[in-house]
Structure 1
């Protein structure tokens, strides 16, 4: 979604769900469902009709990665988890306690980091990379 939001910022007008889906390699229904959550959070807006589509509601510099994470329902960050959440084995209980604490600390640290990065920061990094890429191509031409 971060990728799409930056493209929405750069688009010359509203982007349809179909165009966004083609760009992301997914289904337009998935795009609409996901963007609906972002719309409820005030990150994007949609307009209906022939020239309709999705646009940003706020400038990239006013959007933090944490805003998007929250708007998406705070999805699970780590794919790893406890093998057995209620084990009888005391060793497994000790392992679970350590893993749970480590995962909670890591998640808190990541969420804290997400609050410090704006989508404007990401777009500026893209712009720097693009300039470097274009300069490199010009040198080899």
Structure 2
């Protein structure tokens, strides 16, 4: 099963955007995310709808950060993405009338629910500013500067 990495990708691109002056085009952000600009536009539109980014069309336009990194949590970004599935595992549903399947699904379902609640709680405790601070500490350790063009060379 393929993992959904949208949250990781969006956080990645938001941190890149915070380091760059001015608006960033979908094409530039797509290079940072190693994806297609159409994918970037689709994802960023959801963030724009929630007020996390803004966009301007035309020459010199692009995407800019519109929210305070101190106030925005990973949970809010996760919610803006439409709450993608967190866990790759799930319950079997081939025989819903089977008492064994019901028993197993009840036990696993509770564990899955608790794991998801724990992750969501943790996401609510981490802000974009905290991610940015960690990034800057790592950058300082390397003694360099980062651009969207050289960020993935380390």
User: Normalized against structure 2, the TM-score is what?
Assistant: 0.83
Instruction: Give 4+ residue runs of structure 1 displaced > 2 Å after superposition.
Output: 85-89
User: Of the candidates 102, 109, 117, which is equivalent to residue 108 of structure 1?
Assistant: 117
Q: 1:64: which partner in 2?
A: 73
Which structure has more relative contact order (CA 8 Å, sep 6+)? It is 2
Please, which of 5, 20, 23 is the counterpart of residue 14 of structure 1? 23
> What are structure 2's unaligned runs of at least 5 residues?
1-9, 145-154
Matches within 5 A, 1:38-77: 38-77=47-86
RMSD of equivalent CA atoms: 1.4
Written as runs of structure 1 = structure 2, the 5 A alignment for 1:92-131 is 92-131=101-140
Q: 2:90 aligns with which of 81, 84, 89?
A: 81
User: Is residue 37 of structure 1 aligned with residue 49 of structure 2?
Assistant: no
**As a proportion of its length, which structure holds more helix?**
1
Residue equivalent to 1:4: 13
In the alignment, structure 1 segments of 5+ residues that lack a partner are: 136-141
Number of aligned residue pairs: 135
TM superposition score normalised by structure 1: 0.91
